[in-house]
Amino acid sequence: MTSATPLHPQTSQMARPTRQDVEDFLIEEAALLDEQEWDRWNDLFTDDGLYWVPATLGQEDPYTHVSIMLEDPLLRKVRIKRFSAPDAYSLQPFPRSVHLISNVRIEDYDEDSGLLKCRAKFIMLEYQRKTQTYGGTVRHDLRWDGDTFKIQQKRVDLINADGVLDCINLYF
């Protein structure tokens, strides 16, 4: 478990979150994934938070098109529970990951609703008998929730989403 970076901005509830606040949050989110702190990672989402990996570039709607992943809170909970199942053969040995986050940008912030839209570039290395590399753009819709951000939606646009993908075991 890491404690180097707090999960909340250094700003007050009334102040506008900075790019550094957002970058700190995204880096901490990536650390939770790499450290396999699944429940703590899942707690970063709002009660209705969505995790989405579109199957095509430029896909606008997760409900009328096929997606690589589309997980609401229940599906994330089921998947996270599977991570600890000893009979999950596809997870033996358990995969490991490294996430790199860069080029963080705030695209929009609505002070009235507390909704902040941001994007960043990412590279993820996943190792399980061999190393696989994934990369692309990750977009977050973040809600300012009193003293922390909460993920309303995380969208991962893989640069090769329309290509042939090996089994994806972990979260981007």
Domain residue limits at 141:
19-158
Distance CA 50, CA 21 (A): 22
Is residue 169 assigned to a domain? no
- pLDDT-flagged residues of the chain (< 50): 1-6, 8, 11-13
Distance CA 105, CA 127 (A): 29
Is residue 167 assigned to a domain? no
Is residue 56 assigned to a domain? yes
Predicted model pTM: 0.88
Is residue 146 assigned to a domain? yes
pLDDT at 122 (0 to 100)? 98
Is residue 2 assigned to a domain? no
CATH code of 145's domain: 3.10.450.50
